[in-house]
């Protein structure tokens, strides 16, 4: 018991900027080494399967103590700021990270926008999502724009549902999400690839006229802008393709299996 009390008192000593930087670097290292899914005891184990650099940097108890007490937000004013921003608890640090990401990297010509993942979280949060098909069924949904060549995340946005009336209020439509994520590459003639939740003629036309970007994506067959021939694959030969053309896009429908098909808009570069 005395040893436990001594350990807690030693772990509660004041910290400094160097130690906090070391903590953040260890968190980065755990991701680089694919150790972020391991139990903390497994990382600090001394039987040869742990990561020696972690043990050399700080003790496991100190690491836990810092994580438990690390804060990026002023708790005194949080409730007031949450009246206008649901993401108030992490708004400052999240926007700082995204800003640094955008300024530190220039993406290649092709990017992808998608619901990147459901970040595991089971705490109290009114915009926590439940998606049973995901490995982590409960969590926070994040939209991200990623470089298709290097997989570098160029921009991110947390889905928080409907915001209160404030400067943080924004549309959650698929088109609006893509438009916000593409602000940093506006006018660069890059290509954006999306899935069928995002793809629409509205988005295609907006990226062309307002952003000078091109679009590639699959299309749900119930979209009103699809010709009837593309919505009904019955009677189509297997492995056949059907094309439709417009001044600024090409639509292709492919029949890989019986009564199934794939369609996608390909926005031409200009």
Q: Which residues pair with 144 in a beta bridge?
A: 114, 156
User: Looking at the domain assignment, is residue 140 inside a domain?
Assistant: yes
Q: Are residues 131 and 170 in the same domain?
A: yes
User: Looking at the domain assignment, is residue 246 inside a domain?
Assistant: no
- Which residues form the domain of 153? 80-181
Q: Are residues 135 and 84 in the same domain?
A: yes
How far is the first Cα of the chain from the last one, in angstroms, to the nearest whole number? Answer: 73
Distance CA 242, CA 253 (A): 5
The pLDDT, as a whole number, for residue 174 is: 92
Which of 151, 181, 211 marks a domain boundary?
181
Q: Are residues 43 and 134 in the same domain?
A: no
User: Looking at the domain assignment, is residue 172 inside a domain?
Assistant: yes
User: Looking at the domain assignment, is residue 126 inside a domain?
Assistant: yes
User: Looking at the domain assignment, is residue 230 inside a domain?
Assistant: no
Residues 6+ apart with CB under 8 A from 170: 163, 176, 180
Q: Are residues 175 and 91 in the same domain?
A: yes
Q: Are residues 159 and 121 in the same domain?
A: yes
Q: pTM for the full model?
A: 0.77
The pLDDT, as a whole number, for residue 149 is: 93
Distance CA 158, CA 204 (A): 23
User: Looking at the domain assignment, is residue 15 inside a domain?
Assistant: yes
User: Looking at the domain assignment, is residue 198 inside a domain?
Assistant: no
Q: Are residues 43 and 93 in the same domain?
A: no
Q: Are residues 61 and 92 in the same domain?
A: no
Residues 6+ apart with CB under 8 A from 232: none
Q: Which of 170, 191, 202 is nearest to 85 (CA)?
A: 170
Q: Are residues 65 and 84 in the same domain?
A: no
Q: Are residues 169 and 92 in the same domain?
A: yes
Q: Are residues 117 and 65 in the same domain?
A: no
Q: Are residues 119 and 140 in the same domain?
A: yes
The pLDDT, as a whole number, for residue 269 is: 33
Number of domains in the chain: 2
Residues 6+ apart with CB under 8 A from 118: 129, 131, 134, 136, 137, 138, 139, 140, 141
DSSP letters, the chain, are -HHHHHHHHHHTS---HHHHHHHHHHHHHHHHTT-TTS-HHHHH-SSSSS-HHHHHH--HHHHHHHHHH--SS-HHHHHHHTTT-TTTTTHHHHHHHHHHHHHH----SEEEEEEEEEEE--SS-TT-EE-TTSSSSEEEEEEEEEETTT--EEEEEE---SPPSSTT----SHHHHHHHHTGGGTTS--EEEE-TTT--HHHHHHIIIII--EEEEE--TT-TTS-HHHH--TTPPTT-EEEEEETTEEEEEE--STT--EEEEEEPP-
Q: Are residues 59 and 88 in the same domain?
A: no
Per-residue pLDDT tens listing for the chain (270 residues) = 334 554 554 566 788 899 999 999 999 888 888 776 778 888 898 887 788 889 899 999 999 999 888 888 888 888 888 889 999 888 988 999 999 988 889 999 999 999 867 787 788 888 888 888 777 788 888 999 999 999 999 999 999 988 888 888 899 999 999 999 999 999 999 999 999 889 988 999 999 999 999 999 988 877 888 888 777 767 778 888 888 888 888 888 887 776 555 555 544 332
Which region holds residue 131: left if phi is over 0, alpha if psi is between -120 and 50, else beta?
A: beta
Which of 12, 45, 69 marks a domain boundary?
69
Which of 122, 154, 181 marks a domain boundary?
181
User: Looking at the domain assignment, is residue 106 inside a domain?
Assistant: yes
Distance CA 76, CA 91 (A): 15
Tokens at residue 21, please? Answer: 């930087």
């Amino acid at each position: 018991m005395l040893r436990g009390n001594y350990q807690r008192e030693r772990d509660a000593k004041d910290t400094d900027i160097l130690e906090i930087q070391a903590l953040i670097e260890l968190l980065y290292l755990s991701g680089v080494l694919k150790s972020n899914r391991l139990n903390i005891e497994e990382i600090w184990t001394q039987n040869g399967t742990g990561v020696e650099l972690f043990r050399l940097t700080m003790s496991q108890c100190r690491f836990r103590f810092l994580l438990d007490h690390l804060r990026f937000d002023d708790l005194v004013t949080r409730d007031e700021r949450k009246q206008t921003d649901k993401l108030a608890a992490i708004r400052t640090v999240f926007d700082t990270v995204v800003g640094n990401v955008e300024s530190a990297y220039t993406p290649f010509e092709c990017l992808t926008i998608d619901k990147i993942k459901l970040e595991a979280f089971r705490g109290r949060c009114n915009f926590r999502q439940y998606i049973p098909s995901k490995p982590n069924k409960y969590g926070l949904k994040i939209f991200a724009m990623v470089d298709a060549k290097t997989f570098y995340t160029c921009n991110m946005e947390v889905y928080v549902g409907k915001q209160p009336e404030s400067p943080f209020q924004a549309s959650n439509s698929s088109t609006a999400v893509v438009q916000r994520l593409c602000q940093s590459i506006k006018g660069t003639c890059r290509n954006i690839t999306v899935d069928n939740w995002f793809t629409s003629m509205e988005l295609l036309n907006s990226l062309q006229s307002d952003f000078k970007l091109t679009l590639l994506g699959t299309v749900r067959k119930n979209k009103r802008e699809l010709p009837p021939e593309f919505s009904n694959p019955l009677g189509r030969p297997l492995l056949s393709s059907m094309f439709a053309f417009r001044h600024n896009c090409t639509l292709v429908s492919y029949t890989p299996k019986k009564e199934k098909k794939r369609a996608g808009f390909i926005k031409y570069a200009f």
